[in-house]
Amino acid sequence: MGSATIFPSGSFEAGATCSFDLTYTCGKFGLDELGALRIVFRSANDQSPLQTSNPRGLGFVTAVASNGAPLEIKYDARGHIRPWYKTLTLTAKQFLREGDTIIIRFGDPSNGSPGLRLQTFCEKRFQFRVLVDPIATGLFTALPESPTISLVAGPPVSWKALLPSHRRPGEPFSLFIKAEDKWGNPTDKAAARLSLRPSQPIDGLPIAIDFAAGAFQRTINGLTVAQEGDFSVEIVSQDQRRLAVSNRLRVESAGYRRYWSDLHGQTEETIGTNSAREYFEFAQERAFLDICAHQGNDFQITDAFWTELNHITGEFNKPGHFLTLPGYEWSGNTGVGGDHNVWYRSEGRPIFRSSHVMIDGSADSNTACHTIVDLFNVLREEDVIVSAHCGGRYADVSYAHDADKEPSVEIHSCWGTFEWIVRDALRAGYRVGIVGGSDDHKGRPGASHPGSSKFGSYGGLTCHLMNELSRDALFASFRRRHHYATSGARIWLHAAARFEQPATLYVGHTTDPRTGTETVHSAIMGDIVAVNDEEVEFEIDVLGTAPIERIELRDGLDVIEVARPYERGELGSRIRIIWEGAESRGRGRNATWDGRAQLHGNAFKDVRSINFWNAEKPIHQIGQSEIAWQSFTTGSFSGLDAILADRDSGTLHVQTSSASVEIAVRDIGYDDRIIEAGGLEKRIRVFRLPDKNIHHRVTLKRRLPIRRVGDTRPYVCVTQEDGHRAWSSPIYLFPQESSQAARRAPPNQGARS
């Protein structure tokens, strides 16, 4: 079939712009007239698209045959078999003999192309996968060895510091520090003397440390605090610049410990990059996660890989230190239920697949479950947790639900934010919790930047409220919905209800008294409680990783209050412009918001972007009165803060590809000015903020009436100024006298609704 080489070879910075010559040498068959050569790239690869039309543009490709044979070149973003979708095909218009060569120049600079911008994330074995059809049959055979390069992190542009979220007085904990390049890759190219400044004294914390080049992270162990309180650590450079501030650690005697998970991602064995082993190493060593799981598409998981994956999770699982779960993604089409995560408590359990479309002959055909109803039925006797999510195939929770196996739904991932999936579940009367994950495809679970691709958001996390770090405690927490989701920030969130009269807490997942009950005077997120009070006190306590912009108090489908931590009198010269939403629930969900903001009769003193994750497309200030951007949202939101030269003068005009608004600056105030744009909750919001928001902590108490029919379902959505969010799982409250009826009519149990 021939052979292929690449020049230059070796290591290259992720996201750098380079040029490469790939040389294919024909084998004994040669290459017949209309025979073809293919170079394919992984689906997750976010390098600049290849093109043949603009010699001065990124990714310009040329090719030449040593015997002068004309070559037709075509690029197709979905031209080959998953996961090698991205395809460059070269078709020979004249035959070549053994030993003849074809040189393909990626990012050919000869006519002005700056080169090929490489993928933005690290990969030890980035492959230019070469396939050949030498006999012009349409059947392509992969070469035994294709050229590879290594993609490594670039220089540091930001620093991160992480603490655990909860400890008891005197319990040891660690501080984790790392530097990241502009694409969010942990980098080993940072060398600095760092000062460590705690908000309150922390025993064992050094005044300063040396962060040496060659290290990807630094962990300071053996820290303790004797007294209760909230603690953070500031990282300061030698020239006194604040590089990072950690999340808040709450030290208190009571309450659950809080552990952070990313239970959702894929690797090169399915449609992601880097190996499953490297995936778990990253989660533990470079993301400072407590809990991690792998979720490969079931129709790509062979029996051999399922065995290997179970071996890896068993090896990495260290109760008390780092927890793993064996699992997979049931990847049925939306019409038969849609994507669902599946996690087992123990290794060695079977994988039940939505199909065997990519693994015929390499998996047990008896494991097919073609609908989510089939899956729920076959899992009835398994010790397993299932969660609906939105990825390539979004989950339709109205199709089927099993309250025993599916305690939660996923609200956020790299794909975007999907509050509609929570509302679908609540509208159907299900009692579900809310989780977040990354669905990472780039080998970065727990710290998943979207890069420059169709992924529009930073990956989510789940915080689990547990007594200990063990699989038993995790499953108990999951089944009682004792968890909350974030969009990736380690926000500390507490939501509880308090009762004046004794109430009945259902310890299990439903109101079946056989699972156990307790008499209580309070409940936390996820609990199901029969109450005797006509109204209850709902309390919220939030410790943000950035100033808090707002808290939405919700009862099921209704927003009952939008609470801001600042008063109207604190508003200043800072306005915020937000665009958000999606076109649809499916793969074409991306909503485009390319646009600009102009001030007439005023000027922009300073501008800061919000949730602009693509380093290639920053926000641009054009003179004193205009800002321009390229942006898209996938159910999430992006936007900007602008400090105005004059607080109240002039007119703001915002024009985007989806909607526009013109508003007098003096009319921009405390409440949102909303411009609807169709699609799925597509809208622009404009409002005003204080010039400096100092509110990192917010506590609220509200009296909530108990519905006489159905559940009262209080929960909150917290939004920080930096664009990160957190969602508590709802508490499910209903009148004591209706508890018998509730027991007689539990939610769907594996049957199609």
Q: Please tell me the predicted confidence (pLDDT) of residue 741.
A: 47
Query: In this predicted model, which residue has the larger pLDDT, 115 or 364?
Result: 115
- Does residue 81 have a pLDDT over 90? yes
Confidence label for 367 from pLDDT (cuts 50, 70 and 90)? confident
**pLDDT tens-digit map of 687-725:** 999 999 999 999 999 999 999 999 999 999 999 999 999
Q: Please tell me the predicted confidence (pLDDT) of residue 744.
A: 40
Residue 28 burial (C-beta neighbours within 10 Å; 0-12, 13-18, 19+): exposed
Residues 6+ apart with CB under 8 A from 234: 196, 197, 198, 199, 242, 244, 245, 246
- Does residue 651 have a pLDDT over 50? yes
**Coil, strand or helix: which one is 640?**
strand
Among 70-74, 165-169, 289-293, 387-391, the least confident range: 387-391
Contact (CB, 8 A) for 42 and 78: no
DSSP letters, 66-81, are TT---EEEEEETT-SS
For residues 42-55, give the mean pLDDT: 95
Q: Let me know the angle formed at the C-alpha of 520 by 541 and 508, rounded to the nearest 5 degrees.
A: 90
Q: Using alpha carbons, select from 601, 648, 598 the residue that is nearest to residue 623.
A: 598
Among 69-78, 269-278, 740-749, the least confident range: 740-749
- Does residue 751 have a pLDDT over 60? no
Contact (CB, 8 A) for 301 and 270: yes
How would you classify the pairing of strands 229-231 and 626-629? unpaired
**Residue 513's Cα: distance from chain center in Å?**
37
Confidence label for 514 from pLDDT (cuts 50, 70 and 90)? confident
Q: Please tell me the predicted confidence (pLDDT) of residue 590.
A: 92
Name the average pLDDT for the chain. Answer: 95
- Does residue 746 have a pLDDT over 60? no
Six-digit token string for 449: 């930047």
Q: Please tell me the predicted confidence (pLDDT) of residue 743.
A: 47
Structural domains in the chain, sorted by start? 3-152 (2.60.40), 158-254 (2.60.40.10), 256-488 (3.20.20.140), 491-565+697-748 (2.60.40.10), 569-692 (2.60.40)
What phi and psi, each to the nearest 5 degrees, are found at residue 97?
A: -100, 170
**pLDDT tens-digit map of 122-131:** 999 999 999 9
Q: Please tell me the predicted confidence (pLDDT) of residue 37.
A: 97
**pLDDT tens-digit map of 428-447:** 999 999 999 999 999 999 99
Confidence label for 752 from pLDDT (cuts 50, 70 and 90)? very low
- Does residue 482 have a pLDDT over 80? yes
Q: Please tell me the predicted confidence (pLDDT) of residue 745.
A: 40
Q: Which helix (H) or strand (E) holds 21?
A: strand 20-25
For residues 666-678, give the mean pLDDT: 97
Percent of the chain with pLDDT over 70: 98
Q: Let me know the angle formed at the C-alpha of 360 by 357 and 364, rounded to the nearest 5 degrees.
A: 110
Q: Please tell me the predicted confidence (pLDDT) of residue 588.
A: 87
Q: Please tell me the predicted confidence (pLDDT) of residue 509.
A: 74
**Residue 700's Cα: distance from chain center in Å?**
28
Q: Please tell me the predicted confidence (pLDDT) of residue 739.
A: 62
Cα separation, 523 vs 502, whole angstroms: 11
User: What's the Cα-to-Cα distance from 218 to each of 149, 198, 443, 600, rounded to whole Å?
Assistant: 28, 17, 20, 49
Q: Please tell me the predicted confidence (pLDDT) of residue 748.
A: 44
User: What's the Cα-to-Cα distance from 734 to each of 446, 474, 499, rounded to whole Å?
Assistant: 36, 26, 12
Contact (CB, 8 A) for 78 and 85: yes
**Residue 316's Cα: distance from chain center in Å?**
22
How is residue 514 annotated by DSSP? G
Cα separation, 395 vs 585, whole angstroms: 10
Q: Please tell me the predicted confidence (pLDDT) of residue 433.
A: 97
Q: Which helix (H) or strand (E) holds 475?
A: helix 471-479
- Sequence length of the chain is 753
Contact (CB, 8 A) for 610 and 640: yes
Q: Using alpha carbons, select from 321, 239, 252 the residue that is nearest to residue 280.
A: 321
Q: Please tell me the predicted confidence (pLDDT) of residue 34.
A: 97
Q: Please tell me the predicted confidence (pLDDT) of residue 626.
A: 97
**pLDDT tens-digit map of 567-603:** 999 999 999 999 999 999 988 899 999 999 999 999 9
Residues 6+ apart with CB under 8 A from 474: 259, 291, 323, 325, 464, 466
**Coil, strand or helix: which one is 89?**
strand
Sheet containing strand 218-223, strands side by side: 158-162, 173-180, 218-223
Q: Please tell me the predicted confidence (pLDDT) of residue 749.
A: 43
Q: Using alpha carbons, select from 734, 629, 641, 616 the residue that is nearest to residue 692.
A: 641
Contact (CB, 8 A) for 141 and 66: no
Q: Please tell me the predicted confidence (pLDDT) of residue 568.
A: 96
For residues 734-744, give the mean pLDDT: 66
Confidence label for 750 from pLDDT (cuts 50, 70 and 90)? very low
Is cis: bond before 618, omega within 30 of 0?
A: no
Q: Please tell me the predicted confidence (pLDDT) of residue 513.
A: 75
CA dihedral 18, 42, 633, 14 (to 10 degrees): -30
